[in-house]
Structure 1
Amino acid sequence: MKKSVMAVALTLAALAASGARADPVGNPEAAKYKVAMCIGCHGIEDYRTAFPEVYHVPKLGGQNAGYIASALREYRLGNRHYATMHAIAVSLSDQDIADIAAYYAAQTPTSKDNAVK
């Protein structure tokens, strides 16, 4: 028993020393006003952008939270190449990203998730 407690303690200490951190937990309620910027494109049925190329804008409701958070972080870093999304994502904190991802994951693809509630 003492060995397993010691192993857990050493593992936690190693993680803390390495700078590892957990992603913040998303709060869908906190995102209600943060998603206003998303609605302009993702809230329009069959919306397509015309710059820099014609692109079908996906609906976000019901999408996996991990996927949304990962995509937003990649846009923020510039690893995904869409200027509008990059410009938005660079203004988001890690907590904003987690909240927005949780908000859209709590919706369904057919829900009216496109209006601030």
Structure 2
Amino acid sequence: MTPKLLTALGVTLALLLPGAAFAQGDVQAGREKAYTCLGCHGVSGYRNAYPSYNVPKLGGQHADYIVSALQAYKAGDRSHPTMQGLAQTLSEEDMQDIAAYFEQAVPNDE
């Protein structure tokens, strides 16, 4: 299997697992930890300095998907130099907290 296929399979399986399989992150801690993330992955009420830069907005995204994506970046299974570097600095708790924050955040429609 190719690395892309393995990553897609892993994310799919993670999304099929019951929500209890993922620890609940701390929303307030996640808000503080996600400060850097907002520059590109803004949420409602936050204006991206580079609005033409095409990155996904994470407000309202499922926490388990965000955690899976961050784990894949950290492991080198997803390819994006900036995200790989940032993910290397995150602990599992950091990932859970950031994911909990973005899951409850209102999506930015811009």
Counterpart of 1:84? 82
Distance 1:78 1:30 in 2: 26
Question: Tell me, which stretches of 5 or more residues in structure 2 are unaligned?
Answer: 1-20, 43-47
Output the aligned Cα RMSD. Answer: 1.8
Counterpart of 1:30? 29
> CA, structure 1 residues 100+36, in 2 after alignment: closer, same or farther (shift >3 Å)?
same
Instruction: Report the identity percentage.
Output: 45
Cα distance, 1:41 vs. partner? 1.3
SS in 1 for 2:32: coil
Superimposed CA distance per residue, residues 50-85 of structure 1 (whole angstroms, 9 cap, x where no aligned partner): xxxxxx201010001010010000000000000000
Query: Larger helix proportion, structure 1 or 2?
Result: 2
State the TM-score, normalizing by the size of structure 1.
0.65
State the TM-score, normalizing by the size of structure 2.
0.68
Counterpart of 1:114? none
Tell me if structure 2 keeps the 8 A contact 1:27–1:103.
yes
What amino acid does structure 2 have at the position aligned with 1:27?
Answer: D
Larger Rg: 1
Cα distance, 1:101 vs. partner? 0.3
Question: Tell me, which stretches of 5 or more residues in structure 1 are unaligned?
Answer: 1-21, 49-55, 112-117
**Which segments of structure 1 move beyond 4 Å, counting only runs of 4 or more?**
none
